[in-house]
Chain A
């Protein structure tokens, strides 16, 4: 934590206490996000055509589907940031919990014939118990060893899903969600707007929960652990318990995200169990800026949008005209994203969220 010093170099009480923001700034901080989310909420009524940016009119099913996926991944990135940015836990197994949500509900309704409410309840239960158990073991170690344990458990989950135990998960083919199981208001192309609102709702819930816990007492302890772990344990606040709390909250929210993702794409694919899926969250969070209010969300939207649109760009006329040497790499979204990511690490280490601070610093 940094404290400013006055001219004589001593820290005064006023400097340590957060300064009350000016009314205009406070209005901006509160009002701007509300306005932005209000705009997002009414997007399905817009018929604006953004030919280069979206596949069709804003309220066409294709565009809404893309936007909804961006919103879900924004939420998932924010849950990853709760671990990495807020608590300093480098996990390589976050994909496991997304897959847990998606596959639990899918297998329950499609293969076991459970009613949707029962399946959702099961997902909530599983989403709390599994992270609590795995986290309790994994958090016995710190740093890189923790990263490796999460990587290994997630890999195990991936192998289980791929091996298709009892013909439940569909193996490499994935498992399409049974159409009978989807409630009417979420099924069919005509109801894409409802799916979009579901995704938006998920994002709002995730951001609200994170904003709330980060401001609460555990949130302050997380920050303190990140800054100086030994001091916290000397003060009698066991880092283990607080880390476990962060791990369970983040994993539970990711499980919910997996459920929303399931409805959105209409099935579970083994892709969401892989370590590359987790690495994508890491890239999103770093692109956007770690441990900031909006950074992870921005990174999630940007990454997902580019990932989907670059694939379209790769087959577009503009790229097709390029010589083979340039065309082949540009048709691989991950190549462009990987390079963009490295450039960001070098030249904008704070991510997109640090851009505003940088610009403000320059104009001063």
Chain B
């Protein structure tokens, strides 16, 4: 029983991390058709921003995370405005540019901070454990799950209750129509990049807490699983991403524990194959 609780909470924590990355990816893909490989870079900027402000500016944990998130958001907005926007409607080129960015950006971080993992500043309370139903659960799991729930709620409120959210939702459904109605979708592009960048940067900071260290390549490996989550959940759907993230996190944790290391990843890939063959549009996708 205690094993099950621990595995479930760890799986949910991992799922929370995937969701934070996948939600932005999904929105960006849904609205702008850009498969954003630079998302791993936003994540890394968030992680290194948090680490740097804590190590060099002496920030506490929360201000350091805020600093990291602001840095990640700023990077995302700059990337959208300077590099993605000029290639409007040329989606293959946009994807290629984000691929180039992810290569160059990770290399730049490696040049600045070194290739070795750096020890991440973890707050006192995140290193402790809590007993739940007989299981000893590290506190950082709750931090991850809490952050993901807050972000999910915030994105939902933004999408359902604000005017910009309405434009984003309409743009995901049918961008041509929204443009034809005289609404400038490009502002919404910048907005989804900002939201995605902020969520990814937060994921970077929290991944630092979860893994205990930060390295330049960390974003890339997390990004692959986030891509899988986006595809399983259905491109463009934030709720779908949330469901898929929980599913992938749980499947990965339970199979790794009860079978063998590596089987967890294999079952995630299997899950992807099964979902795509049964519902090519993903869980939230319309059946075609």
A residues apposed to B, CB below 8 Å: 137, 140-141, 144-145, 147-149, 151-153, 155-156, 159-160, 163, 165, 275-276, 279, 282-283, 286, 328-329, 331-335, 337-339, 341-342, 345-346, 349
Docked-complex contact A334 and B106, CB < 8 angstroms: yes
Say yes or no: A345 contacts B227, CB within 8 Å.
no
Q: Does B107 count as interface, using CB distance less than 8 angstroms?
A: yes
Given contacts A152-B272, A328-B111, A332-B110, contact A349 B93 (CB under 8 A): yes
Contact B93 A345 (CB under 8 A): yes
Contact between A331 and B111, CB atoms less than 8 A apart: yes
Surface stretch bound by A, among B116-124, B191-199, B262-270: B262-270
Residue of A nearest to B106 (CB): A334
CA A94 to CA B73, docked complex, whole Å = 32
Contact B100 A140 (CB under 8 A): no
B103 contacts A141, CB within 8 Å? no
| Known contacts A152-B269, A155-B269; is-contact A328 B103 (Cβ 8 Å) | no
- Given A328-B111, A329-B107, 5 new contacts (CB under 8 A): A145-B231, A156-B269, A163-B262, A283-B103, A338-B100
Q: How far is the CB of B90 from chain A (nearest CB, A)?
A: 8
Give the shortest distance, in Å, between B284 (CB) and chain A (any CB). 14
Minimal Cβ-Cβ distance residue in B for A328 = B111
In the assembly, what is the distance between CA of A334 and CA of B104, in Å?
6
CA distance A276 to B216 in the complex (A): 13
Most chain B beta carbons < 10 A, residue from A156, A160, A332: A332
Question: 8 Å CB contacts to A: which residues of B81-104?
Answer: 83, 86-87, 93, 96-97, 99-104
Given contacts A152-B228, A155-B224, contact A145 B276 (CB under 8 A): yes
Contact B269 A275 (CB under 8 A): no
Question: How far apart are A38's CB and chain B's nearest CB, in angstroms?
Answer: 35
A332: nearest chain-B partner, CB-CB:
B107
A-B contact count, CB below 8 Å? 113
Contacts of A329 in B (CB 8 A): 107-108, 111
**Chain B interface mostly:** helix
A selection of 5 A-B contacts at a CB cut-off of 8 Å is: A149-B231, A329-B107, A332-B110, A334-B104, A338-B102
A286 and chain B: residue at smallest CB distance:
B96
Known contacts A151-B227, A152-B272, A332 near B265 by CB under 8 Å: no
Interface class of chain A by DSSP: helix
* Shortest Cβ gap from B276 to chain A (Å): 5
Give the shortest distance, in Å, between B138 (CB) and chain A (any CB).
24
Residues of A within 8 Å of B277, CB to CB, are: 137, 140
**Complex: A137 Cα to B273 Cα, angstroms:** 8
Does A153 lie within 8 Å of B35, measured CB to CB?
Answer: no
**Cβ-defined partner of B100 (8 Å) among A141, A148, A341:** A341
* CB nearest neighbor in B for A335: B107
Complex contact B265–A159 (CB within 8 A): yes
B180 interface residue, CB < 8 Å from A?
Answer: no
CB within 8 Å for A140 and B265 given contacts A334-B103, A338-B105: no
The answer to whether B265 and A338 touch across the interface, beta carbons within 8 angstroms, is no
Known: A153-B269, A332-B108, A334-B107. A339 touches B100 (CB 8 A): yes
Q: Is the CB of B269 within 8 A of A279?
A: no
Q: Does B235 contact A (CB under 8 A)?
A: yes
Neighbouring B residues of A275 by C-beta, 8 Å? 220, 224
**Cβ contacts under 8 Å, A282 to chain B:** 96, 99
Q: A148-B227, A334-B103, A342-B83 are in contact. Are A155 and B265 (CB under 8 A)?
A: yes
In the complex, what distance in Å separates the CA atom of A333 from the CA atom of B99?
A: 15
Query: Is B55 an interface residue, CB under 8 A from the partner?
Result: no
Tell me the complex Cα distance, A149–B37, Å: 16
Q: Which residues of B contact A283 (CB under 8 A)?
A: 99-100, 103
Closest Cβ of chain A to B251, distance in Å, is 13
Residues of B within 8 A of A334 (CB): 103-104, 106-107
User: A341 and B227: CB pair below 8 A?
Assistant: no
Residues of chain B within 8 A (CB-CB) of A145 are: 231, 276, 280
Q: Does B261 contact A (CB under 8 A)?
A: yes
Cβ contacts under 8 Å, A149 to chain B: 231, 272-273, 276
- Structural contact, A276 and B220, CB atoms closer than 8 A: yes
Given contacts A152-B269, A155-B224, A156-B269, contact A335 B111 (CB under 8 A): yes
Q: Is B112 located at the chain interface by the 8 A CB criterion?
A: yes
- Tell which of B100, B107, B268 has the most Cβ of chain A within 10 Å: B100
Residues from chain A with Cβ under 8 Å of B107 in the complex: 329, 332-335, 338
- A189–B100 CA distance with the chains assembled, in angstroms: 36
A156 to B269, CA, bound (A): 7
In the complex, are the beta carbons of B103 and A338 less than 8 A apart? yes
Contact B96 A338 (CB under 8 A): no
